[in-house]
């Protein structure tokens, strides 16, 4: 995707510049307008050296982890609160970094600030490290003179994101481990164990039960065509990855995830909790509502729900209220809709959205705790059925042969 260099002005008339990756210049202009910026010039970045350097960075330099960005945010909060200048803080933190990539980025941002750019614009040059949400919160903190609070706020948000990801991994680790073990067992049985039994049965030239014939047929197929099966699996993997890289593929995949049994409701509540957390944060930071919803759509992590959020933004731009557009989206429960309506009327929507986020997080915790209890019986039944089929396929002919021999 091509990269475009832009110059723009914000609502206060302050100049800003940076880079955006998009399909064309018009898409860049739309993105800038949605974030409250007025585009002045947009030009495609033709510098081959820059793209080559970026490619080298992606291939050969270590990535910056979420934990490192959280730690950096806490450190910047402490330093800026103590009255240390941003440039001096960045240079000091760069010297203590163990990650060479993060050290390079911090020095580059410090140089950009010394050249006259603002911090938010400098952060947007590294979208793989600092998200649009991160840069927007810092931008508001710069303009309001509360940069230290902006760093503290975004660090707290990222910590909640980290905890959510940990909970999901913890809840899905056991079923994924069991499914992997079952898959490995099936491959070993079909390639090594069942062919040995098939040779024994073939010596007796007896009529085999249909269960045994089916198992031997599947085993023969895997033994004869396993290279093609491996190639098919690899091809399917890369084909699916390529499809998911497209806008349509990602949208359909995210919509399908929300419809999964058991897991779908968990994914939906996690995304809704993320929506409420982000909404509360941008409201506290003073980001305009339409610009904030655009940021939320990019931070929510689900393209289908992002489309619903953008629909809310378009409704608000037409003059509808927040609670009304939220009700029309069909994403929220009646309790949360009522909290939105009360918050909109009283002007305390940020506080009520934090409560709504807590409400959804409690539901996520409850469902994650019950996930293992719900999945475990299904896995036990699947293992039992596999053992039953193998037992019938292997031991029925042995039983028949022993009965014939005793006669």
What is the token pair recorded at 129? 């490290």
Number of domains forming the structure of the chain:
2
Looking at the structure, tell me whether residues 250 and 399 fall in a common domain: yes
Residue 223 placed within a domain: yes
Residue from 133, 180, 185, 175 nearest 158 by CA: 133
Per-residue pLDDT tens digits for 262-279: 778 888 888 888 888 888
Tens-digit pLDDT profile for the chain (407 aa)? 566 777 777 766 666 776 676 666 777 777 777 777 777 777 766 544 444 444 444 445 678 888 999 999 999 999 999 989 999 999 999 988 888 889 999 999 999 888 888 898 889 888 888 887 888 788 878 877 888 888 988 888 888 888 878 877 877 787 788 888 888 888 888 888 888 878 877 777 767 777 788 888 888 898 888 889 999 999 999 999 999 888 888 899 989 988 888 778 888 888 888 888 888 888 877 778 888 888 888 777 788 888 888 888 888 888 888 888 888 888 877 877 888 888 888 888 888 888 888 888 888 888 877 776 777 787 788 888 878 877 777 777 777 666 555 54
Residue 91 placed within a domain: no
Strand partners, 15: 9
Residue 67 placed within a domain: no
CB atoms within 10 A of CB 108: 15
Looking at the structure, tell me whether residues 53 and 165 fall in a common domain: no
What is the per-residue DSSP string for 226-264?
HHHHHHHHHHHHHHHHHHHTSHHHHHHHHHHHTTSTTHH
Spatial distance between the Cα atoms of 148 and 76, rounded to a whole number of angstroms: 7
Spatial distance between the Cα atoms of 275 and 264, rounded to a whole number of angstroms: 17
Distance of CA 228 to the CA centre of its chain: 32
Question: Any residues with CB less than 8 A from the CB of 208 and at least 6 apart, and which?
Answer: 201, 216, 397
Residue 323 structural domain = 157-407
User: Global pTM?
Assistant: 0.67
* CATH number for 369: 1.20.81.30
Q: Is the dihedral of CA 225, 227, 233, 236 positive or negative?
A: negative
Of 29, 60, 91, which residue constitutes the final position of a domain?
60
Looking at the structure, tell me whether residues 161 and 282 fall in a common domain: yes
Strand partners, 313: none
Looking at the structure, tell me whether residues 289 and 399 fall in a common domain: yes
Residue 35 placed within a domain: yes
* Per-residue model confidence (pLDDT) at position 12: 66
What is the token pair recorded at 232? 């098919």
- Phi, psi (deg, nearest 5) at residue 287: -75, 135
CB-CB contact of 309 with 302 (8 Å): no
Residue 96 placed within a domain: no
Looking at the structure, tell me whether residues 399 and 290 fall in a common domain: yes
Of 39, 60, 81, which residue constitutes the final position of a domain?
60
* Per-residue model confidence (pLDDT) at position 54: 47
Residue 84 placed within a domain: no
Looking at the structure, tell me whether residues 215 and 335 fall in a common domain: yes
* Per-residue model confidence (pLDDT) at position 61: 62
CB-CB contact of 71 with 149 (8 Å): no
Residue bearing tokens 């980290």: 162
Residue 149 placed within a domain: no
Residue 368 placed within a domain: yes
């Amino acid at each position: 995707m091509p990269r475009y260099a832009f110059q723009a002005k914000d609502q206060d008339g302050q100049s800003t510049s940076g880079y955006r990756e998009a399909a064309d210049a018009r898409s860049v202009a739309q993105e800038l307008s949605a974030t409250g910026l007025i585009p002045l010039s947009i030009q495609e970045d033709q510098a081959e050296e820059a793209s080559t350097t970026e490619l080298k960075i992606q291939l050969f330099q270590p990535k910056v982890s979420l934990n490192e960005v959280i730690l950096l945010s806490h450190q910047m909060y402490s330093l800026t609160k103590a009255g240390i200048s941003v440039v001096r803080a960045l240079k000091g933190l760069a010297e203590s970094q163990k990650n060479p990539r993060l050290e390079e980025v911090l020095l580059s941002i410090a140089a950009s600030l010394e050249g006259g750019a603002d911090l938010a614009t400098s952060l947007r040059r590294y979208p793989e490290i600092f998200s649009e949400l991160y840069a927007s919160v810092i931008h508001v903190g710069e303009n309001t003179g509360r940069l230290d609070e902006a760093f503290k706020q975004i660090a707290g948000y990222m910590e909640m994101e980290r905890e959510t990801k940990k909970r999901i991994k913890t809840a899905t680790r056991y079923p994924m481990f069991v499914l992997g073990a079952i898959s490995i067992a099936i491959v070993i049985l079909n390639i090594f164990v069942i062919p040995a039994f098939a040779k024994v049965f073939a010596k007796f030239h007896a009529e085999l039960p249909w269960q045994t014939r089916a198992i031997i047929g599947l085993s023969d197929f895997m033994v004869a065509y396993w290279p093609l099966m491996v190639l098919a699996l690899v091809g399917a993997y890369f084909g699916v990855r390529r499809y998911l890289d497209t806008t349509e593929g990602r949208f359909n995949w995210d919509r399908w995830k929300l419809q999964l049994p058991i897991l779908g409701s968990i994914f939906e509540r996690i995304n809704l909790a993320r929506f409420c957390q982000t909404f509360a944060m941008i409201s506290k930071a003073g980001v305009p509502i339409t610009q904030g919803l655009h940021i939320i759509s990019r931070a929510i992590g689900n393209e289908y729900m992002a489309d619903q959020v953008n629909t809310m933004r378009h409704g608000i731009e037409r003059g509808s209220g927040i609670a009304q557009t939220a009700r029309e989206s069909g994403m929220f429960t009646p309790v949360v809709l009522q909290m939105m309506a009360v918050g909109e009327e009283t002007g305390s929507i940020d506080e009520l959205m934090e409560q709504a986020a807590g409400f959804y997080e409690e539901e996520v915790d409850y469902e994650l705790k019950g996930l293992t209890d719900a999945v475990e019986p299904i896995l036990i039944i699947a293992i039992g059925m596999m053992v039953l089929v193998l037992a019938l396929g292997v031991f029925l002919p042995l039983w028949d042969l022993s009965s014939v021999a005793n006669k």
